[in-house]
Structure 1
Amino acid sequence: MRLLLFLVFLVVPVLEVWLLIQVGSVIGGWQTVGLLAAAAVFGSWLMRREGRRAWRDLQESMRTGVLPERELADAALVLAGGLLLVTPGFFSDLVGLLCILPFTRPWARRLGGWFFERRVKRMAEASPYANLFPPQPGPAPSDARGGEPRAKVVHGEVIRDDTD
C-alpha cells in the first residue's frame, strides 16, 4: 500500500507535468490550456449525466428491495471519474474516462472489486482476531433459492423469562 501511495503522490504528478510539456510543445501552450479547459467542461457534463443515471439506478434498486451493490460501485466510480476529469492533466483525464464511461465502467468495477477484495483479505489475515473464527472445511451450505452460500442454521427454541 505504501508503494501505491508513493506512486500516486509522486510519480503520477511527474507524469502529468511531463505529458503537459510534451503536448504543449506539439500543439502550443494556449491550445494545451484550452484542451485542459475543454476536458474539464466535458468531464463536468459527463459526470452530471452519468451521476443522474447512477442515482436513478440506485433509487430503483432501493425501491425494488434489491441490494444495490453494482449501483453503489457505479456511483463511486462516477464520482471518482468526475473528480479525475476536472483535475488538470491528460493522464488523470484518461483514468477518469475509464471510470465514468458506461461501457468501460464494468471493467473498472471488476478491477476495483478485485483490488478491495485482496486488500480486505490481507487486512483480515493480519488482524489479531483472525484466529477466532477459522474457516470451516468443505463447501458452505447454499441458500434454498439456489443463491449465495449462507451460514449454517442452528434450530432451537427461544425461552423468555418474564418474571418482572
Structure 2
Amino acid sequence: MFRILFFLIIVISAVEIALFVWLGNVFNVWFVLFGIILTGLAGAYLAKYQGTDTLNRARFELSHGRAPTDEILDGIAILVGAVLLFTPGFVTDTIGFLLLIPQTRKPAKIYIRKIVSEMFRKGSIKVFRNY
C-alpha cells in the first residue's frame, strides 16, 4: 500500500507541475496563480458548507436513534476533498471538487463502503463492544 501511495504522489506531482508549466506558457503565470487561489477559496467555502450540512444531518439521524452511516461516509469524502483542494494543483482540485459535490460524491461513497466491507470480511477491522 505504501508503494502505491508513494507512486501516486510522485506521478500526481509530476502531472501537476507539467500542467502548471503548460498553462503558464499558454496563458500566463498570473492566470495560473489566480486559478490556484480561486479554487482554494471556492473549495474552502464549499467544504465548510457541505461539512456543516453533513454534521446537521448526522445530528438529526442520531436524535432519531439511527446510526449516521451515510453521513460518516460523506464526512470522509468531504475531508479528503477539502485536503485535495488545499493542495495546489488543478488535477487535485478537480478530484477535490468531485468529492465535495453531493451528486458526484456517490461513486466515491460506494467505493469506500465496498473497501470497508471487504476489510470487515477479511478481519482487518475488528469491532469491540462494551456491554
User: Where on the TM-score scale, by shorter chain, does this alignment land: which range?
Assistant: 0.7 to 0.9
Q: Which residue number in structure 2 is paired with residue 7 of structure 1?
A: 7
Q: Which residue number in structure 2 is paired with residue 69 of structure 1?
A: 69
Structure-1 separation of matches of 2:50 and 2:92:
18
Q: In the TM superposition, what is the alpha-carbon distance from 1:39 to its structure 2 partner?
A: 0.3
Q: Which residue number in structure 2 is paired with residue 131 of structure 1?
A: none
Q: Deviations over 1:72-110 (max 9, x none)?
A: 110111111111112110111011011110111111101
Matched to 1:76, the amino acid is I
Runs of 4+ in 1 over 4 A off after TM superposition: 119-122
Q: In the TM superposition, what is the alpha-carbon distance from 1:119 to its structure 2 partner?
A: 4.6
Structure-1 separation of matches of 2:85 and 2:32:
15
Structure-2 separation of matches of 1:120 and 1:51:
27
Q: What SS does structure 1 have at the residue aligned with 2:102? A: coil
Structure-2 separation of matches of 1:47 and 1:10:
26
Q: Which runs of 5+ in 2 are unaligned?
A: 125-131
Q: Which runs of 5+ in 1 are unaligned?
A: 126-164
Q: Percent identity?
A: 25
Matched to 1:102, the amino acid is P
Q: In the TM superposition, what is the alpha-carbon distance from 1:118 to its structure 2 partner?
A: 3.6
> With structure 2 as the length reference, what TM-score do the two structures score?
0.85
Q: In the TM superposition, what is the alpha-carbon distance from 1:4 to its structure 2 partner?
A: 2.2
Structure-1 separation of matches of 2:25 and 2:16:
14
Q: Deviations over 1:21-62 (max 9, x none)?
A: 122221111110001000000000100110111111111111
Question: Which protein is richer in helix relative to its size?
Answer: 2
Structure-2 separation of matches of 1:54 and 1:9:
29
- Matches of residues 1-164 of structure 1 in structure 2 within 5 Å? 1-122=1-122, 124=123
Q: Which residue number in structure 2 is paired with residue 132 of structure 1?
A: none
RMSD: 1.7
Q: In the TM superposition, what is the alpha-carbon distance from 1:121 to its structure 2 partner?
A: 4.3
Structure-2 separation of matches of 1:15 and 1:27:
18
Structure-2 separation of matches of 1:12 and 1:121:
32
Q: In the TM superposition, what is the alpha-carbon distance from 1:9 to its structure 2 partner?
A: 2.2
Structure-2 separation of matches of 1:19 and 1:118:
36
Contact 1:98/1:108, CA 8 A, preserved across alignment: no
Structure-1 separation of matches of 2:54 and 2:78:
8
- Number of positions where the alignment pairs a residue of Structure 1 with one of Structure 2: 124
